[in-house]
DNA sequence: ATGAAAGCGCTAACAA
DNA sequence: TTGTTAGCGCTTTCAT
């Protein structure tokens, strides 16, 4: 098999100069050519099966039409929709995403960041940010365009797209309070991760707004956004705060762990304890019981992040934006009135 | 901010010639240099924050250290583990994966294939293959290294890594038969997809080997490997074959649809109908009831596919291999003895 | 052990 | 409207 055809090959076949062929092949510059030249060159390209060598182009233009995406872990069901949202938004612009998993490990994150830099990415979308992430400084010093998605970093030096966590937690708590719950715990996510911190802070605020006391609304920290961590947190919670009748979980994985631990200890959900998740990740509706949760538009978040990044690549001086997308409570089977309230209802 | 440093910048700082600097920076050629020169250059590179420009390198070497991965849909829980397996296997070799979603659409598949070609990928891993996929011819004509994962294409012209579907179905049926089931249906996947065809064929074989008749073991085709399709298939199945007591689903998504349809029609699982899934995808254990299924080592499949591809890139004449990884039945709550058999058991 | 020089395929400034 | 030319940053053969 012979080597891949180049512009020169196409030019020879179309009987024009290399640069003419190159112009004909590039939509941006084909306007300055006579229509018949353009079509002749294009036909020659088609016949030869020509595809442009993006390395040569990238070397010349110093743009790769590639962006780097850093996520914690692709097998965490939260991220595939974000990634697809990014990919779909990039597609019409001819951009491609390079995806790397950090596993929440700063070392891995840093090495992937450098590797992506070597591949000349035009910018980054970071879904793995931790508070005070060193990446921020590095990207800022380099002047590399960067957009944060889902998680933020504390200092607003880059544009960010997320869900409206504050509102989501408020609505979740409103739902529980409306059902009659007054003893509501929060199974918070890990320290140093913005979504965990923001949701925990929002829990505190909302609970106060509802007129509940701190004693009625304990917060238990889970050390990761995982099922296991949710189970352990639930175990501890049940031991230290046995009177709670409802739980707002930091995310759906923690909620699932909670559901499992509840079942393991013989507590029925929602009869004994109501549980609200967060994210409405795939299969949250298939759990037992089907999880009441806050739906976050992950694909849209990814798409918006991509758009913001493209905007910044085109216009590096563009203003920094924080985009909070609306979330929505999805009520399913894991929440109900607390036992006492149900009893009162029956008496009324 | 100034432009990114190049080898020349490093060379200047280290007071050596560009080519010497390049050699020092490249592990393959740094051996021919004096140790002190190497370390001097490396230090200069570090101080400057130098990263090699992979476009220039790729243009020169005609190798991109990038491979293209075509999957149907990243949000299908089957694929993230495969992709991660691929990524982890590539990482130590300095390779990166470019991932594209085909949505099972031949047009999208073709256009992504060409786009990846333009990005000079050194090879492809295809998880989206359909039988008689035109990609096969194109890749063969181009001489592009390619490995199939999960699905095959009918003709064995490329190496392929999959799970041992034949054995998986056999074991699933053995489990059901051992429980006492004699009327077992198969909710098969869509035509033209190898995993669907192979599992359906294996179902026919295994059922015969068990001494069951065709009348006892109906096969219902679902038109996609999706929940909805599984629900519809189950609906039809229950209407036409009301005596069945067990179902072997073509995959877990179909099984989930089946579980839902069963519940919707008031049939209890496993009490009235046992269900076995296929894949053991994430959260299969969180369904209600927890799904008995055949575990397929997806991450390992991805990793093996990557290894095979790297091998072929290094040695284009390498022999074509078909690697079938062992699968394993995971018994959970969705399977039990049929009602009659349970009754006999009680009488015995 | 190191330096010199060419060239990968493309684009874009300049010339005609 | 089309041709000429230089050069992006790297690797690599050849020379020293």
pLDDT tens profile B23-57:
999 888 888 888 888 899 999 999 998 989 999 99
Q: How many CB pairs under 8 A join A and B?
A: 105
Helix (H) or strand (E) holding A113: helix A106-118
Pick from B144, B301, B101, B78: nearest CA to A99: B101
Q: How confident is the model at residue B327 (pLDDT cuts 50, 70, 90)?
A: very high
Q: How confident is the model at residue B132 (pLDDT cuts 50, 70, 90)?
A: confident
Over residues B143-172, mean pLDDT: 94
Would you state the pLDDT for residue B246? 98
The residue of chain B nearest to residue A263, with distances taken between CA atoms, is B286
The pTM of the whole model exceeds 0.75: yes
Distance from CA of A257 to the nearest CA of B (A): 10
A238/A216 Cα distance (integer angstroms) = 14
Would you state the pLDDT for residue B142? 86
Q: How confident is the model at residue A239 (pLDDT cuts 50, 70, 90)?
A: very high
Determine whether the interchain pair B288/A283 forms a contact, defined as Cβ–Cβ distance below 8 Å.
no
Residue B344: pLDDT over 50:
no
Residue B305: pLDDT over 80:
yes
Residue B79: pLDDT over 80:
yes
Best probe of the A interface among B79, B119, B254, by most A CBs < 10 A, is B119
Measured between beta carbons, the chain A residues lying within 8 angstroms of B53 are 59, 118, 120
Give strand ranges (E) for chain B: 66-71, 96-101, 123-126, 146-149, 159-163, 184-188, 219-221, 246-249, 274-276, 293-295, 322-325, 328-330
Q: How confident is the model at residue B133 (pLDDT cuts 50, 70, 90)?
A: confident
Q: How confident is the model at residue A340 (pLDDT cuts 50, 70, 90)?
A: low
B174-204 pLDDT, tens digit each: 999 999 999 999 999 999 999 999 999 999 9
Q: How far is the CA of A22 from the C1' of C13 (A)?
A: 15
Nucleotide nearest to B17 (CA to C1'): C3
Distance from CA of A342 to the nearest CA of B (A): 25
Would you state the pLDDT for residue B55? 93
What Rg value do the Cα atoms of chain A yield, rounded?
26
Would you state the pLDDT for residue A345? 38
Would you state the pLDDT for residue A93? 94
A57-105 pLDDT, tens digit each: 999 998 999 999 999 999 999 999 999 999 999 999 999 999 999 999 9
Determine whether the interchain pair B143/A96 forms a contact, defined as Cβ–Cβ distance below 8 Å.
no
The residue of chain A nearest to residue B62, with distances taken between CA atoms, is A55
Nucleotide nearest to A21 (CA to C1'): D2
A22-67 pLDDT, tens digit each: 899 988 888 888 888 888 889 999 999 898 999 999 999 989 999 9
Residue B345: pLDDT over 70:
no
Return the higher-pLDDT residue of A185 and A3: A185
Measured between beta carbons, the chain A residues lying within 8 angstroms of B1 are 141-143
- From A84, A117, A120, residue closest to B75, measured CB to CB: A84
Q: Is B317 on the interface with A (CB under 8 A)?
A: no
Q: How far is the CA of A13 from the C1' of C6 (A)?
A: 26
Would you state the pLDDT for residue A348? 32
Residue B136: pLDDT over 90:
no
Measured between beta carbons, the chain B residues lying within 8 angstroms of A80 are 74-75, 80
Best probe of the A interface among B262, B283, B285, by most A CBs < 10 A, is B283
Would you state the pLDDT for residue A347? 32
C-alpha pair distances (Å), A242 with each of A178, A185, A217, A230, A247 = 21, 10, 12, 16, 12
- From B64, B75, B286, residue closest to A256, measured CB to CB: B286
Best probe of the B interface among A75, A114, A317, by most B CBs < 10 A, is A75
Q: How far is the CA of B204 from the C1' of D12 (A)?
A: 60
Pick from A200, A203, A131, A135: nearest CA to A174: A203
Residues with CB under 7 A from strand D: A 16-20, 23, 32-34, 37, 56, 59-60, 62; B 3-4, 6-8, 18-19, 22-23, 25-26, 28-29, 50, 52-53, 56-57, 59-61
Q: How far is the CA of A34 from the C1' of C14 (A)?
A: 20
Q: Is B96 on the interface with A (CB under 8 A)?
A: yes
Look-up: residue for tokens 């590039």? Answer: A26
Would you state the pLDDT for residue A2? 57
């Amino acid at each position: 098999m012979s080597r891949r055809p180049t512009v020169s090959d196409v030019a020879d076949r179309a009987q024009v100069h290399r640069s003419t062929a190159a112009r004909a092949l590039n939509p941006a510059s084909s306007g300055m050519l006579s229509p018949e030249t353009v079509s002749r060159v294009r036909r020659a390209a088609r016949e030869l099966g020509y595809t442009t060598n993006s390395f040569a182009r990238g070397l010349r233009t110093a743009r790769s039409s590639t962006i780097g995406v850093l996520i914690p872990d692709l097998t965490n069901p939260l991220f595939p929709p974000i990634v697809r949202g990014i990919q779909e938004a990039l597609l019409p612009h001819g951009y491609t995403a390079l995806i790397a998993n950090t596993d929440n490990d700063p070392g891995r994150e840093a090495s992937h960041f450098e590797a992506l830099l070597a591949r000349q990415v035009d910018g980054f979308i970071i879904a793995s940010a931790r508070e005070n992430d060193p990446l921020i400084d590095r990207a800022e010093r380099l002047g590399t365009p960067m957009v944060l998605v889902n998680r933020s970093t504390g200092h607003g030096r880059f544009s960010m797209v997320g869900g409206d966590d504050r509102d989501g937690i408020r609505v979740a708590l409103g739902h529980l309070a409306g059902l009659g719950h007054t003893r509501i715990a929060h199974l918070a996510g890990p320290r140093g991760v913005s979504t965990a911190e923001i949701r925990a802070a929002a829990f505190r605020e909302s609970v106060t707004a509802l007129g509940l006391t701190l004693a009625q609304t304990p917060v238990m920290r889970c050390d990761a956004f995982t099922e296991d961590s949710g189970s352990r947190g639930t175990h501890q919670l049940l031991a230290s705060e046995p009177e709670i009748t409802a739980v707002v979980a930091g995310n759906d994985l923690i909620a699932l762990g909670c559901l499992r631990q509840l079942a393991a200890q013989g507590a029925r959900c929602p009869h004994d304890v109501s549980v609200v998740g967060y994210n409405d990740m795939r299969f949250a509706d298939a759990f037992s019981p089907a999880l009441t949760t806050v739906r976050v538009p992950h694909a849209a978040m990814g798409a918006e992040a991509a758009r913001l990044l493209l905007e910044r690549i085109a216009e590096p001086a563009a203003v920094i934006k924080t985009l909070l997308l609306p979330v929505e409570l999805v009520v399913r089977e894991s929440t109900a009135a607390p036992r006492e309230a149900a009893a009162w209802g029956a008496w009324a």
